[in-house]
């Protein structure tokens, strides 16, 4: 069964294939049959540069459970990075003592 579940978003960053890094233009998240992993249906992450040859792609196939764990890890890392950025910019979260005053 093909699911036709596909999400495409613009992406900024870099991806690596072999020894070469290339800039990204988009990321694709899909749920469908595994093409390479010896699994059933998987979450596929493709990091692509649409301005380069078709090989300008870094792909990953994950089980649904692994994808959920990755999402949770990303959420934690993003929250921590947001707190760090707020501190660096002097906009840190007020301390509990300041709130109690």
Provide the whole-model pTM.
0.76
Looking at residue 43, its pLDDT comes to 94
The reply to whether 101 falls in a domain is: no
- 48: exposed, middle or buried (Cβ count in 10 Å: 0-12, 13-18, 19+): buried
The reply to whether 98 falls in a domain is: no
Domain count, the chain: 1
Contacts of 24 (CB under 8 A, 6+ apart): 11, 12, 13, 14, 15, 47, 48, 49
Looking at residue 40, its pLDDT comes to 85
pLDDT digits (tens, 9 = 90+) for 33-89: 888 888 888 999 999 999 999 889 999 999 999 999 999 999 999 999 999 988 888
Domain that holds residue 85: 5-92
The reply to whether 11 falls in a domain is: yes
């Amino acid at each position: 069964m093909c699911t036709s579940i596909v999400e495409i978003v613009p992406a900024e960053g870099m991806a690596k294939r072999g020894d070469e890094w290339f800039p990204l233009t988009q990321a694709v998240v899909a749920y469908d049959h595994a093409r390479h992993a010896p699994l059933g249906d998987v979450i596929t992450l493709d990091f692509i540069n649409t301005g380069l040859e078709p090989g300008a792609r870094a792909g990953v196939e994950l089980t649904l459970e692994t994808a959920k764990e990755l999402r949770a890890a990303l959420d934690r890392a993003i929250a921590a990075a947001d707190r760090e950025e707020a501190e660096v910019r002097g906009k840190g979260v007020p301390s509990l003592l300041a709130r109690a005053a």
